[in-house]
Amino acid sequence: MTVTDCARFRAEDPGDLVAASFACPWCLAGVDDTVVDVGPHDSLAHCVCPCCAHDWDVALHAGQAMRLSLAPPPSLHVRYEHDGGGPLVA
């Protein structure tokens, strides 16, 4: 079962706070990689914990998705899915 969480950062927040929004909800480990599925209004970032291997989705509104595409935190590698299937590398 995949849990869906809600991102808790504003577009102008510092990178550390943005990255903390993607922390594992089970063990609080930081995530170093995420795949974002961009939708017309809202987007989902799929995360997998490097420590406990749980996975979850983080819901993003348009401003948060734009922040990740323009200025991702240095500690978070962001890749993008597109309608055709495979991930697009950012």
Domain ranges across the chain? 3-89
Has domain 3-89 been given CATH number 1.20.1070?
Answer: no
Q: What is the pTM of this model?
A: 0.83
Q: How do residues 45-78 score in pLDDT, each as one tens digit?
A: 999 999 999 999 999 999 999 999 999 999 999 9
Is residue 90 very low, low, confident or very high in pLDDT (cuts 50, 70, 90)?
Answer: very low
Taking the C-alpha atoms of residue 45 and residue 79, their distance in angstroms, rounded to an integer, is: 9
Rounded to a whole number of angstroms, the distance between the first and last alpha carbons of the chain is 28
Q: How do residues 11-30 score in pLDDT, each as one tens digit?
A: 999 999 999 999 999 999 99
At a CB cut-off of 8 Å and minimum separation 6, what does 1 contact? none
Count the helices and strands in the chain (H runs, E runs).
2, 6
